[in-house]
Chain A
Amino acid sequence: MAIQSPQAPQTPDALKAGKVPAGARDRARKPVLDPRERARLEQAFRVPRARTAAGALLAVVLVAWSMAGAEFNFVKLGEGAANMGEFLARLFPPTWEKLPTILELLVETLQMAIVGTVLGALLSLVCAFGAASNIAPRWLYYPARWIMNVIRSLPDLVFALMFVSAVGLGPFAGILAMTVGAVGSMGKIFAEAMESVDRGPVVAMQAVGASKRQVVQYGVLPQAAPLLTSYTLLMFESNVRGATILGMVGAGGIGLELTTAMRMYDYGHLSAMVICIVVLVTIIDQVSAVVRRKIS
């Protein structure tokens, strides 16, 4: 590799000296880091900069202010611990007389979650194409993001009430609420998964003359697939839990039974339901962990 420049040393000092070692010549030409900065970087423990210190202080103040506003109180928490224990004690022993009812409602909850997740994932995917900056044109990007922001800022319960009044009490209303609610958060996360793909293969797809649809199909989606699947499983888990809440407003699932048991002080029944939900969520969590490992 005899491509070294035959050029003479350029600094005046070097010229005077006549002969300069290559290292010295390089040093004369190389930009240098401020020595104080360098010393600071080499220290094991650094005194934080004013900006860092101010930021930390601001964070502490913000948390303290929020705790005051939210009436957070360690003393009260300590005093209440006994009551909490009493509440938990009342949950035992669980009574299993209505197990068939519980299982039936749990299956309904699961069915709602499955349908709600599939529909939610599909709708989120469609919206995500519009909200991914590396795919969507500008005129589509902003409206898509805005719609998702609006949906995200509305609680799922609002959607549940809306759909209950539209299609009546029952799981169908719950499914619709889940589906629409998913678009707000999942659409955004899906879009970000698509934005984070490696650009290289996308460029390669453009370079073979692929159409936009083909670039997405072969360049973007295969790369985003593991994240999309992972988020969908997460959405499924949260939909199972969410379905128990939606039930409270009459949108199907185990939620209504749960609220009723609480109101009737039927703690044994309540406890049995909670145990069943925990078991179901744990099973789902384990299964999705296996799936996630397989696809990554």
Chain B
Amino acid sequence: MTTDAAPLPAPAVPAGARPPLVTVRDLKVAYDGGPLVLDGVHLDLHPGETVALLGSSGSGKSTLMRTLTGFAPVTSGSVRVAGHDVPGLGRAGLRRLRADVGQVFQQFNLVGRLSVLTNVLTGALHEAGPVNLAGGFSAAHRRRAMELLDRVGIAHKAKEQARSLSGGQQQRVAIARALMQGPKVILADEPVASLDPKLSHTVLDLLRGIAREDGIPVLVSLHVLPLALRHSDRVVGLRHGEVLVSAPTARLSAEQLAPLYDHDDEEGED
């Protein structure tokens, strides 16, 4: 299914795979006529799988993530996410696309002064009508948000200001916010880069559990190789904007992934 020029065993489609929810074909991205940041990228994300996106700084990981939600321009190629053809989406189309894609960020990006519950509720903003200007979210929204906080194990903090929580707790709130959207795909851009190793495992376990239980594809970019090998079903490795590796995690070894980090400049930017 994928046509990656991978030097490794051909990527296998997960057994009994349903059609992919994300398909990227021959994607090329250049910012303002600059050099290509992504050069011919192919990517498929299937329901229920956790895919680790690897690559050194400047390899195009973040740009790929941003392309999937229309935050980065598509120079050529096709990007289809949860039924949306991303290139050429208008403002309303982009909002519908983004409502379907849950995002988790490195710095959590919670509104620190708002309560944990309100932060989770903001995930449902796309459903909230103009009513919410006056009175906030519906009781059904609030119940769902509390259930999600139960699920990420942090319901007892619902009333507190988000900024009073620890990093690991904040990231779990952010995951609950992403789930509040009722997402068809979840993208996590370096979700554990600001967390210590133990919390990293907790958060990545949580994400993988969500992928399996909810049948959502989760794309998670990481820069710590052992974490990727332990918490993903498949690995996609980028180097200089090209897919160098795309294979089930079980068949990979650290040595096979070494070339991803074989970079000669340290000035690269994410």
Contacts and interface: CB of A to CB of B under 8 A. Distances in A.
A180 to B, nearest CB: 27
Interface string A214-229: 1001110011011000
B28 to A, nearest CB: 23
A210 B126 contact: yes
Given A207-B69, A217-B133, A225-B113, A2 B254 contact: yes
B251 to A, nearest CB: 17
Interface string B140-175: 000000000000000000000000000000000010
Contacts, number: 88
B225 A218 contact: no
A153 interface: no
Given A1-B224, A3-B254, A206 B111 contact: no
A209 B105 contact: no
A209 B97 contact: yes
Contact of A3 (B69, B109, B133, B257): B257
Contact of A208 (B181, B260, B261): B181
Interface string B113-133: 110001000110110100001
A204 interface: yes
B61 interface: no
Interface in B29-63: none
A200 B255 contact: no
Interface residues of B, number: 40
Contact of B99 (A200, A208, A217): A208
B262 interface: yes
A1 B227 CA distance: 10
Given A7-B262, A209-B99, A210-B126, A204 B254 contact: no
B103 interface: yes
Contacts of A210: 95, 122, 125-126
Given A200-B107, A222-B114, A3 B128 contact: no
Interface in A40-67: none
Contacts of A206: 71, 98
A189 to B, nearest CB: 19
B210 interface: no
B255 A2 contact: yes
A2 B260 CA distance: 12
B111 A209 contact: no
B133 A5 contact: no
B258 A3 contact: yes
Contact of A204 (B96, B105, B224, B226): B105
3 smallest CB-CB distances across A and B, nearest first, come from A209-B99, A204-B109, A200-B109
Interface of B: 69, 71, 94-101, 103, 105, 107-114, 118, 122-123, 125-126, 128, 133, 174, 177, 181, 224-226, 254-255, 257-258, 260-262
Given A200-B105, A207-B101, A210-B126, 14 more contacts: A1-B224, A3-B254, A3-B257, A5-B262, A201-B111, A203-B105, A208-B125, A208-B126, A209-B99, A210-B125, A211-B95, A211-B125, A217-B133, A223-B113
20 contacts: A7-B262, A200-B108, A203-B105, A204-B103, A204-B122, A206-B71, A207-B69, A207-B71, A207-B98, A208-B98, A208-B99, A209-B97, A209-B98, A209-B181, A210-B95, A211-B95, A213-B133, A218-B114, A218-B118, A223-B113
